[in-house]
Chain A
């Protein structure tokens, strides 16, 4: 099975900062990658699908890029509601494996 990794595991940032999270797949998954945001006690929320497509209703400060085995999620200007944990997921085929997550907290 394809393994997913994320870096960093924790990221400390301030409001207004540009934030980048990296996700790597152990084999090529083309562009079949999604990004999720999860806040404590809540279900995950889809942000980006097919590596770079913004889900409806998600602010444009979120963007995704990459293909093959390396992907990035960028938040152009961090807002107070963006402090959360972010997960990538590959979905080219089952199993739809998640990355281990990146927690974005307040510096």
Chain B
């Protein structure tokens, strides 16, 4: 069974940093493209960042480019999202997802709140 379990969310002050983790199981993580998708309260889905199958190509939405970094640790089957210079409009549920057939598996999400 495919499972994606996010962690690392929480309350952070504007300008601060946070690192999200996503533990993957039930599929070959090292052969999978992965993404982070977020959803602000009461709003729609927003694709944030993607990592290629090979792990050597990264992609970012304009809204987070230069502030967020996606990476993975194959030995731990874990995807990461390092977020810095956080702003109030980064407040959202962040989902980890596998990019196959679009996005076929999603985690349950972790809430990031940026507020003073």
Contacts and interface: CB of A to CB of B under 8 A. Distances in A.
Interface of A: 1, 33-34, 36, 38, 43-46, 49-50, 53, 55, 85, 87, 89, 91, 94-101
Contact of B44 (A34, A94, A100): A100
Interface of B: 35, 37, 44-47, 50, 59-62, 95, 99, 101-104, 106-109
Contacts of A45: 106
Contact of B104 (A49, A95, A98, A100): A49
Contacts of A55: 101, 104
A87 B102 CA distance: 12
A33 B101 CA distance: 9
27 contacts: A34-B103, A36-B103, A43-B95, A44-B103, A44-B106, A45-B106, A46-B102, A46-B104, A50-B101, A53-B101, A55-B101, A55-B104, A85-B44, A87-B45, A91-B102, A94-B50, A94-B59, A95-B50, A95-B61, A96-B47, A96-B50, A96-B102, A96-B103, A97-B47, A98-B45, A99-B44, A101-B44
